[in-house]
Amino acid sequence: MILSSFILIPLIAGLLAFFIKQDQLVKGWSLLAALATLAAVLYSFTMPAAAEGLSYSRIWLGSLNSHFSLLLDGPARVTTLLTAVSFVIIFIAIFKNSYADASQYFGLMLLSMAGLMGVFLASDALLFYFFWELALIPVYFLCSKWGGERRVPVTFKFFIYTFVGSVIMLIGIIYLYSKTPDQSFSWASFKQAALTAKEQAFFFWFFFVAFAIKMPVFPFHTWQPDAYETAPVGTTMVLSGVMVKMGLFAVLRWLLPVFPQMSDKMGGFIIVLAIIGILYASLIAIRQDNIKRLIAYSSIAHIGLMAASLFVKNDMAYQGALIQFFNHGINIIGLWIVVDIIERQTGISKMSELGGLAQQAPRLAIMLVVVALANIALPLTNAFIGEFLMFSGLYQQNVWYAVVAGIAIILAAVYTLGMIQKVFFGQRNEAVQVADLQTAQWLALAIIIVLIIAAGVYPKPLLELGGSLVKTIPLAVAP
Amino acid sequence: MNLIIFAGIMGVVMMFGGLLMKQKHQATLLATVLVLLLLAGNTWEMLHGPIFSIQAPHMLATSRFGLLINEILLAAGLLYLLVSGRDIEKVGNYVAEYYALIFFIFAGIGISTAYTNLLMLFLGIEIISIPLYILTGADKRNLKSIEAALKYFLMGSFSTGIMLMGIALIYGGTGSFLLEKFSLQGAPISYNLVAGLLLILVAMAFKVSAAPFHFWTPDVYDGAPTVFTSFMATIVKVAGFIAFIRLFEGASGIIAGKWQWVIAIIISLTLLIGNITAVFQQSVKRMLAYSSIAQAGFMMFALFSMNNWGREGIVLYAAAYCLATIGIFAVLTKMDDYTYQGFNGFARREPMLAVALAVMVLSLAGIPLTVGFFSKYYMVASAVAAGFGGKFLWLLVLAMLCAAVSVYYYFRVIQAMYFKEAEQPQSALPVSAGFRYLVAGAALVVVLLGILPQWLLQFLYF
């Protein structure tokens, strides 16, 4: 029951939020709902669980043999925690921002949170598909209504991209369902689906494409920079911090265990794709002048590394990727908060027009530097542990993977430090005025920095949260 | 089966009632009450058995499937009268006659969902079609309406002729008009039989506007008075599908293999033509006409796979499609501007209706949490369950990609309503509060069935 509350709290709170007319009240209400969800998530970690995790199941569609079944295993613990923490931070960070029709904005945000929680918990394929789409619909409305210029076409491109991916996946789900031994959608039966080699080869891609578009991995990434740039910043944080994890998480739960042979066979190819993506995105990020696009491309690079690590399938890479799920989400939300502050005050998102902001806003500069260092994965920041483990995992698989992907660390330093330098130091643009942090933003950034340093110095609790690979996907380990 | 008789009687009552009634809304009221009675009668028959039984061996046979479909169509008809009654009154002076024609159509629907004999099929289809020709031309001062009616009549009679020819050939092949004669596995295959089946297939494809026999649809739907387009595109179309499915339910055995290919080609053509043409429409009414072709492509999956999944799917599809399309048309008839621009800023103008319309559009696009998702889901699942997942995988992928294309034109309505502002501020639509609640209620049903579709499907079995 505690698991359904992860979904129900934001869902009900979101529906109620539509009817709250005062702006301040609805903001407080959303924050409260997010905090309540976070409390539920934290409480669930203390509960005694079976070997594979906490689970909950009820019959939903009897004739289809589909259940409302939820499972909180290692990866799900990390991602649900990420979702809950992120939404709390996001609601704090945008507390002072004003929105037209605030009740609708926050209602939709909470609905997307419910959808995300559902995706991370569902252990029934049909239910998973349901939530997969449900997380998307509120985001579509959020981006199209409150986004920047060209928001309608850009969001539409994003929507169509992901929708094509998901309908293709739906065919895969239906087909696998017909091949399961007991005609059921449950995760356990999907893992036992009897597929011929040819069917595996086909349907592996049906699933992978949907997930790859969501992540996004290299050739499917074209919607992402535009969407991040135009979406309202609160939603961009959701998109980049939490929603991209849907694709990665789905690989862990629905791809690797369900298609063990195919993912072994295709693993190498996908890792190569991901590594190409890492380098490609890093190189483009260096050339960007727009801060938002820079962060978007840097995110593609980071996601690419995580995607590659998932397909390496050794314990080290797996654990690294899992804690990076969490840490990348926190870091990128931190970056967006800073960008939002700058853009809201100056109306500029081009680095060439900014400069010397550190003199005006020293606290903001310090905060950004810490977050940026975490983005480069410097030791003592949270991302270091994750990236270190992932690179070690890649190294064990194939030295060249680690070497080539390792170049990305250098490139990340180039573009991130370049950004700090151009925005906060260097020639000051006299026309640009920036006030230092306000309380709400200060609080949000402070939480992020505490998380960055805490996880960087003492990552053990996070690592334990994820559990080990063998426990999560026993079938996926090559014999 | 009671539906046939009651609907016929009520048609006559309506016709003579028209002589006595001075005001138009009296006719609407009477018609609404009568449809409610029909619905109650059919519910009774479904739950407890017929009110009086008629023996029509080798002609008609009631089945749960047929009764459930009647139930859905009558409920859709009731919704239609409630939300669109006022607009029917505006079409012309002979309101009572329009309603009478609608009741005759319901009688035809009763036959098409229960026939076991090709002659009855012919009767059912004709009883549905002929009143429709009249309704299409109801707005007789409008040249477009008359042109549409004439076009519909000419094309319709042509297809009826083809159907008769097909029936004659089947008679030549099997020596009988009975469906069971050619549905038995061991029936001898002759050229006559196969040619006859193909001809009937063509005629029925015409009636449900499946490509490549769809050419009449956009013009007729566009030209007919919008209220009647709504009726034609939903209730009548679904009834045509049921007749289609009943016809070939048993026949698939004797022509398996090649048959699937014929249907697969029709499906893919219908989906492609319907969806791609709909993308280029500027008028919402025309878009809905093409979308009805596109949706027909999905409904054809029930014919393609011929199994229980398909039957359940068509039941859901009937409900999903009727609810959403009637709702959208009901709002559309109240608008002055049928183009997408007409919907600009609609969310500010009519917040509640906008939410309801958004839900209906999402349902047509097949987004989860609406019944439209499950109807599409069952259609694809039926094909997979029938074992076509391997050989006809391309068809499933094509269908799903077409569903993604359909998102493009359906979402334009949402974009206009929510993300674009009207050039000049417009007042609320001239509708009553009851209308708003009805449409919102229909949207709520769409969502509820989207969470628990078996609530409707259970009636197939219990």
Instruction: Domain ranges for chain A, please list them.
Output: 1-258, 269-479
Q: Which residues of B touch A100 (CB under 8 A)?
A: none
Nearest residue of chain B to residue A60 (CA atoms): B452
In this model, does residue B107 exceed pLDDT 90? Answer: yes
Model confidence band, residue B188 (pLDDT cutoffs 50, 70, 90): low
| Closest CB to B400 among A133, A170, A177 | A170
Q: Which residues of A touch B400 (CB under 8 A)?
A: 167-168, 170-171
Please tell me whether the interface predicted TM-score (ipTM) of this complex is above 0.85.
yes
Residue A290 backbone dihedrals phi, psi, to 5 degrees? -85, 125
Domains of chain B, residue spans: 1-255, 263-462
- pLDDT tens, residue order, chain A (479 aa): 788 888 889 999 999 988 888 888 888 899 999 999 999 888 888 877 666 667 888 888 777 788 888 888 888 888 999 999 999 999 888 888 788 888 888 999 999 999 999 999 988 889 999 899 888 899 999 888 888 778 888 888 888 888 898 889 998 888 888 888 888 888 888 888 878 888 888 888 889 989 988 888 888 888 888 888 888 888 888 888 898 889 999 988 888 888 888 888 888 888 888 888 888 889 988 888 888 888 888 888 888 888 888 888 788 888 888 888 888 988 899 888 888 888 887 777 787 777 777 777 788 888 888 888 888 888 888 888 888 888 888 888 888 888 888 888 888 888 888 888 888 887 777 667 777 777 888 888 888 888 888 888 888 888 888 776 665 565 444 43
Q: Is B418 on the interface with A (CB under 8 A)?
A: yes
Q: Which residue has the tokens 């309101």?
A: B95
**Helix B191-207 crosses helix B258-279 at what angle (to 10 degrees)?**
20
Q: In whole angstroms, what is the distance from residue B329 CA to residue B371 CA?
A: 18
Q: Which residues of A touch B396 (CB under 8 A)?
A: 171
- Taking residues B261-277, report their average pLDDT: 90
Q: Which residues of B touch A141 (CB under 8 A)?
A: 418
pLDDT of residue A264: 82
Residues B120-152: tens digit of each pLDDT: 999 999 999 999 999 998 888 888 889 999 999
pLDDT of residue A478: 42
Residues B6-32: tens digit of each pLDDT: 899 999 998 888 888 888 888 888 899
Question: A170, B362: Cβ pair inside 8 Å?
Answer: no
Q: Which residues of B touch A160 (CB under 8 A)?
A: 404, 407-408
Question: A145, B418: Cβ pair inside 8 Å?
Answer: yes
In this model, does residue B184 exceed pLDDT 60? Answer: no
Nearest residue of chain A to residue B381 (CA atoms): A174
Restricting to B residues 330-389, those with a Cβ less than 8 Å away from any Cβ of A are: 362, 367-369, 373, 377, 380-381, 384-385, 389
Highest mean pLDDT among A370-384, B28-42, B177-191 belongs to: B28-42
Give per-residue burial for A250-282: e unless 16+ CB within 10 Å, then b. bbbbbbbbbbbebbbebbeebbbbbbebbbbbb
| Closest CB to A178 among B389, B400, B407 | B389
Q: In whole angstroms, what is the distance from residue A302 CA to residue A36 CA?
A: 30
Q: Which residues of A touch B401 (CB under 8 A)?
A: 164, 167
Q: In whole angstroms, what is the distance from residue A388 CA to residue B57 CA?
A: 79
DSSP string spanning A249-314? HHIIIIITTTSHHHHHHHHHHHHHHHHHHHHHHHHHHHH--BHHHHHHHHHHHHHHHHHHHHHH-S
pLDDT of residue B358: 92
Question: A174, B362: Cβ pair inside 8 Å?
Answer: no
**A59 SS3 class:** strand
Q: Which residue has the tokens 């509960």?
A: A47
pLDDT of residue A473: 61
**A186 SS3 class:** strand
User: What is the 3 state secondary structure string of chain B?
Assistant: CHHHHHHHHHHHHHHHHHHHCCCHHHHHHHHHHHHHHHHHHHHHHHHHCCCCCCCCCCCECCCHHHHHHHHHHHHHHHHHHHHHHHHHHHHCCCHHHHHHHHHHHHHHHHHHCCECEHHHHHHHHHHHHHHHHHHHCCCCCCHHHHHHHHHHHHHHHHHHHHHHHHHHHHHHHHCCCEHHHHHCCCCCCCHHHHHHHHHHHHHHHHHCCCCCCCCHHHHHHHHCCHHHHHHHHHHHHHHHHHHHHHHHCCHHHCCCCHHHHHHHHHHHHHHHHHHHHHHCCCEHHHHHHHHHHHHHHHHCHHHHHCCHHHHHHHHHHHHHHHHHHHHHHHHHHHCCCCEHHHHCCHHHHCHHHHHHHHHHHHHHHCCCCCHHHHHHHHHHHHHHHHHHCCCCHHHHHHHHHHHHHHHHHHHHHHHHHHHCCCCCCCCCCCCCHHHHHHHHHHHHHHHHHHHCCHHHHHHHCC
Question: Which residues are CB-contacts of A440 (< 8 A; sequence separation ≥ 6)?
Answer: A92, A93, A95, A96
Chain A residues interacting with chain B (CB cutoff of 8 angstroms): 61-63, 129-130, 133-134, 137, 141, 144-145, 151-152, 156, 159-160, 163-164, 167-168, 170-171, 174-175, 177-178, 199, 202
Q: How far is A179 from chain B (nearest CA, A)?
A: 9
Residue A66's beta-bridge partner residues? A61
Q: In whole angstroms, what is the distance from residue A338 CA to residue A445 CA?
A: 8
In this model, does residue B350 exceed pLDDT 60? Answer: yes
Percent of chain B topping pLDDT 70: 96
pLDDT of residue B252: 57
CA A23, distance to chain mean position in Å, is 28
**A350 SS3 class:** strand
Nearest residue of chain A to residue B391 (CA atoms): A199
Q: Which of B73, B137, B144 lies closest to B107 in space, CA to CA? A: B73
Q: How far is B196 from chain A (nearest CA, A)?
A: 35
**Helix A291-312 crosses helix A223-230 at what angle (to 10 degrees)?**
130
Cis peptide before B218 (omega within 30 of 0): no
Q: Which residues of A touch B386 (CB under 8 A)?
A: none
Residues B194-246: tens digit of each pLDDT: 888 889 889 999 988 888 888 888 889 988 988 899 999 899 999 998 988 88
Nearest residue of chain B to residue A174 (CA atoms): B381
In this model, does residue B308 exceed pLDDT 60? Answer: yes
Question: A61, B368: Cβ pair inside 8 Å?
Answer: no
Which tokens is A262 given?
A: 């195919």
Q: In whole angstroms, what is the distance from residue A116 CA to residue A109 CA?
A: 11
| Closest CB to A178 among B373, B384, B419 | B384
In this model, does residue B185 exceed pLDDT 60? Answer: no
| Closest CB to A175 among B362, B384, B411 | B384
CA B390, distance to chain mean position in Å, is 30
Residue B54 backbone dihedrals phi, psi, to 5 degrees? -115, 135
Q: How far is A64 from chain B (nearest CA, A)?
A: 9
In this model, does residue B410 exceed pLDDT 80? Answer: yes
Which tokens is A194 given?
A: 């009897």
| Closest CB to A156 among B385, B411, B452 | B411
Q: In whole angstroms, what is the distance from residue B185 CA to residue B178 CA?
A: 14
CA B291, distance to chain mean position in Å, is 12
pLDDT of residue A52: 63
pLDDT of residue B254: 54
